[in-house]
Amino acid sequence: MNGMGRQGLRSGATAVHHQRQYSDNFLDTSSNCRWLQSAGLQHLQNSSASSIPSLQDYKFHGGGGGGGQGIMYRNAQRSFNGTNEFYAEPTTPPISSRPSTQRKNGEDFPNDFSPGLLDLQSFDTELLPEVGLLSFLVSKPKLDDSEPYISTNNQTGRAPVLPDNNLLKSFAADKEKNSSVAKIKVVVRKRPLNKKELAKNEEDIIETHSNSVTVHETKLKVDLTEYVEKHEFVFDAVLNEEVSNDEVYRETVEPIVPIIFERTKATCFAYGQTGSGKTYTMKPLPLKASRDILRLMHHTYRNQGFQLFVSFFEIYGGKLFDLLSDRKKLCMREDGKQQVCIVGLHEYKVSDVETIKDLIEKGNATRSTGTTGANEESSRSHAILQLAIKRSFDGKPPRPVGKLSFIDLAGSERGADTTDNDKQTRMEGAEINKSLLALKECIRALDNDKSHIPFRGSKLTEVLRDSFVGNSRTVMISCISPSSGSCEHTLNTLRYADRVKSLSKGNAPKKDILSSALNLKESTTMALSSVLPATYSYEQEKPIWKENVKVESYNLSISEDKIRKPNGWTNWKDLLKSDDKNSHSDDLNALLQEEQDLVNAHRKQVEETMNIVREEMDLLVEADQPGNQLDNYITRLNAILSQKAAGILQLQNRLAHFQKLLKEHNILASSSSFQLLYKVELIMELVTGCDASVLLDAAKGLKTEKDSTPTKV
């Protein structure tokens, strides 16, 4: 066995990326046996040993990704697949090399895999083909008319026969059910005000309805009076602070559980700022889902060879850590077929809810206590828990059928840490930012059925690659805090979600996309004093105000020009040109064109707004309004333009900073398509974030006031 392992190790030089380890918990044994087997100590099963190894014991057996004692390659067990297309492995030893006890039938397989075994099969990210499933349908009475009946011939020992019509119908009905589950679902969850917020007398500014959410943002007018701006967003569902975790589950994950049995990969992720309730929301979901999965396995799909596997890992600072194996560092590899594998990740075969609960708790504890900063750190990492359903029939090793991934994302505000002085924090922030943008891009490409999915944009999307190809479903839960103090972050979260949602509508009219992009408008607004350097000055192009009016005048055309060509804009264009040579598909160009259209559309709107303002100013001069009234107008225009200038300056600063970061990360030098997309996306957000709406609103306000103001004194 060891010899085989060593041989496997040597020959595994090219296949090392296939390595994955798991331990087995049997469906039908006592917990004692289960734990012994889990720990790779099945030989002690019949001994008098009565103590049950703790969860900690997993690590002892599972950590040897590189081939410690007892490690054996799983492909050594692919012995009987000579003619089976699914199991063709060049290193497969002949069937005779396997102990007879391992050849009897599929039930034996769990015994084959001690935790130290390397599970090459688990890297078959390719799902069991439909034809494979169909060919194993047999005409046995169904357990439940409403459920599909799929069985292996394990139980009967008979050769598989073709399914009867009813079964085919049932299968078809199920496929229909499958396709009726939305490809992307975006749900918002609002948490209640917490003690701290209540103590600070913070207000609840979030109003929810069944599928819409309104944020009441308090803003200051130019004359420093307060006003409330409402932002309304529509999603697939909005869950208020009274909604329980059970209801969250019913709304989000429950509908996708059955289709995991039908060759589907689904991802559920929580997005939101630190403390918005991501972990609170995500934590119970995998357990509830596994309960339902096990129920389906034990009833609807009873004795059909389905097995459930759990793995749990974390991405922190772009590195992967196994949360079920003492944060062992993992590495990700890509094979010749561009299948991404996580080398050394423990995958545990589970058959009861208690074990899953233990594993999840263990992972969560490792996550929050694994680093010195506890929760602080957890909000800087992405935690990914995967429930994989595999199927073993005819005594063959289990093959993946579907997968459900739960992702508790890093706090979204962490992406903004790129301006932090601490280099480490900046790098982490950039990584988080990159992964959150990459995730959005992947979802977007997915739903638009693009052939090119930019999963290489980040570690996060890379590890989720197999969830982004083929038949997939995505549920996004946007967690928001109700407090006025979190208003900006809440708006950012909702805008991200809105963008995922609106961009996900394959044929979404440009209008929707534009409105989504324009929703980014206020995010970069800052007080003028905080961004304007002391030396900042405006050029006077033409004196448009009367001499007796004390006011600075502005060169509007310069401001507009800066909107058109912020620093980095030209670089971006050059980069686009040079990258075009290397871009891999038309999709990328189409995507870039889309982004460019958005920027153009926005620029046009800014130009129109500036024209309105100019018009207003001319009218005011014409009206020659004396005293306070004119002063008032002038003050307001002054402030509007200052804000505009501040926005532009901020834009310049951020672009310059971003360019520096890109250089630091050597991104500019790279021709990777995603990195380009990332840059484009960021630039677009920056451009759209330069607060055109302030101008527009103010200009509209001016117009209204002007209409009710006598034009001549």
Ligand X SMILES: Nc1ncnc2c1ncn2[C@@H]1O[C@H](COP(=O)(O)OP(=O)(O)OP(=O)(O)O)[C@@H](O)[C@H]1O
Smallest gap from Cβ 500 to ligand X, in A, equals: 18
156 annotated to a ligand binding site:
no
Closest CA to 137 of 158, 154, 120, 160: 160
Smallest gap from Cβ 313 to ligand X, in A, equals: 16
State both tokens at 434. Answer: 């990159």
Of 277 and 457, which has the nearer Cβ to ligand X? Answer: 277
Residues in contact with ligand X, shown as a per-residue x/- string from 163 to 192 under the rule CB under 6 A: ----------------------------xx
277 annotated to a ligand binding site:
yes
273 annotated to a ligand binding site:
yes
Smallest gap from Cβ 198 to ligand X, in A, equals: 12
DSSP state letters, 148-165: -----STTT-SPP----H
66 annotated to a ligand binding site:
no
State both tokens at 268. Answer: 């559920």
- Tell me the C-alpha distance between 295 and 298, whole Å: 5
Out of 125, 307, 378, 625, which residue is the one contacting ligand X (CB under 6 A)? 378
Q: Decide: is 276 part of the binding site for ligand X (CB under 6 A).
A: yes
Of 193 and 630, which has the nearer Cβ to ligand X? Answer: 193
Out of 65, 110, 115, 411, which residue is the one contacting ligand X (CB under 6 A)? 411
Out of 56, 84, 97, 375, which residue is the one contacting ligand X (CB under 6 A)? 375
How many degrees, rounded to 5, is the angle at CA 291 between CA 290 and CA 294? 80
Out of 12, 275, 397, 457, which residue is the one contacting ligand X (CB under 6 A)? 275
Smallest gap from Cβ 118 to ligand X, in A, equals: 33
Out of 278, 440, 450, 473, which residue is the one contacting ligand X (CB under 6 A)? 278
Closest CA to 232 of 519, 10, 540: 519
Q: Do 318 and 380 touch, CB atoms closer than 8 A?
A: no
Q: Is 305 left (phi over 0), alpha (psi -120 to 50) or beta?
A: left
* C-beta neighbour count of 146 within 10 angstroms: 11
Closest CA to 552 of 536, 533, 531: 536
429 half-sphere exposure, CB direction, 13 A CA radius:
17
619 half-sphere exposure, CB direction, 13 A CA radius:
17
Q: Decide: is 661 part of the binding site for ligand X (CB under 6 A).
A: no
Q: Decide: is 277 part of the binding site for ligand X (CB under 6 A).
A: yes
Out of 92, 279, 300, 418, which residue is the one contacting ligand X (CB under 6 A)? 279
Report phi then psi at 192, rounded to 5.
Answer: -75, 165
Of 239 and 517, which has the nearer Cβ to ligand X? Answer: 239
Smallest gap from Cβ 371 to ligand X, in A, equals: 13
Interhelix angle 586-623/556-564, rounded to 10 degrees, is 170
Q: Which of residues 234-273 bind ligand X (CB under 6 A)?
A: 272
Smallest gap from Cβ 464 to ligand X, in A, equals: 19
Of 36 and 477, which has the nearer Cβ to ligand X? Answer: 477
Q: Decide: is 15 part of the binding site for ligand X (CB under 6 A).
A: no
Of 246 and 586, which has the nearer Cβ to ligand X? Answer: 246
Of 136 and 249, which has the nearer Cβ to ligand X? Answer: 249
DSSP state letters, 347-362: -EEE-SHHHHHHHHHH
Smallest gap from Cβ 353 to ligand X, in A, equals: 22
Stretch that binds ligand X, among 169-177, 278-286, 493-501, 679-687 (CB under 6 A): 278-286
Type of residue numbered 578: S
Residue with CB nearest ligand X?
277
642: CB partners within 8 A, 6+ apart: 528, 532
Smallest gap from Cβ 522 to ligand X, in A, equals: 23
436 half-sphere exposure, CB direction, 13 A CA radius:
30
Q: Do 287 and 294 touch, CB atoms closer than 8 A?
A: no
Stretch that binds ligand X, among 25-33, 372-380, 525-533, 687-695 (CB under 6 A): 372-380
Q: Do 407 and 468 touch, CB atoms closer than 8 A?
A: no
Out of 60, 80, 86, 280, which residue is the one contacting ligand X (CB under 6 A)? 280
- Torsion over CA: 164, 165, 168, 170 (sign): negative
Of 7 and 194, which has the nearer Cβ to ligand X? Answer: 194
Residues in contact with ligand X, shown as a per-residue x/- string from 443 to 482 under the rule CB under 6 A: ------------------------------------x---
* C-beta neighbour count of 334 within 10 angstroms: 13
- Tell me the C-alpha distance between 150 and 148, whole Å: 6
Stretch that binds ligand X, among 83-91, 373-381, 497-505, 655-663 (CB under 6 A): 373-381
Q: Do 388 and 405 touch, CB atoms closer than 8 A?
A: no
Of 79 and 279, which has the nearer Cβ to ligand X? Answer: 279
Distances 511 to 186, 188, 449 between C-alpha atoms, Å = 20, 23, 21
276 annotated to a ligand binding site:
yes
Smallest gap from Cβ 480 to ligand X, in A, equals: 10
7 annotated to a ligand binding site:
no
279 annotated to a ligand binding site:
yes
Of 272 and 415, which has the nearer Cβ to ligand X? Answer: 272
Smallest gap from Cβ 579 to ligand X, in A, equals: 34
Tell me whether residue 579 is exposed, middle or buried, using C-beta atoms within 10 angstroms of its C-beta: 0 to 12, 13 to 18, 19 or more: buried
Of 247 and 326, which has the nearer Cβ to ligand X? Answer: 247
- Tell me the C-alpha distance between 33 and 111, whole Å: 11
Report phi then psi at 673, rounded to 5.
Answer: -60, -40
Smallest gap from Cβ 375 to ligand X, in A, equals: 5
352: CB partners within 8 A, 6+ apart: 25, 294
Q: Decide: is 485 part of the binding site for ligand X (CB under 6 A).
A: no
341 half-sphere exposure, CB direction, 13 A CA radius:
28
Closest CA to 493 of 546, 386, 551, 416: 416
Total of residues contacting ligand X (CB under 6 A): 16
Residues in contact with ligand X, shown as a per-residue x/- string from 185 to 224 under the rule CB under 6 A: ------xx-x------------------------------
Of 355 and 381, which has the nearer Cβ to ligand X? Answer: 381
DSSP state of 52: P
Of 9 and 248, which has the nearer Cβ to ligand X? Answer: 248
Type of residue numbered 153: N
Of 284 and 701, which has the nearer Cβ to ligand X? Answer: 284
Q: Do 212 and 162 touch, CB atoms closer than 8 A?
A: no
Of 7 and 245, which has the nearer Cβ to ligand X? Answer: 245
Residues in contact with ligand X, shown as a per-residue x/- string from 318 to 357 under the rule CB under 6 A: ----------------------------------------
Distance in angstroms between the alpha carbons of the first and the last residue of the chain? 101
272 annotated to a ligand binding site:
yes
Pairing status of strand 348-350 against strand 306-316? antiparallel
Q: Name the residues that contact ligand X, by CB under 6 A.
A: 191-192, 194, 272, 274-280, 375, 378-379, 411, 479
Binding-site residues for ATP sit at: 272-279
Q: Which residues are annotated as a binding site?
A: 272-279
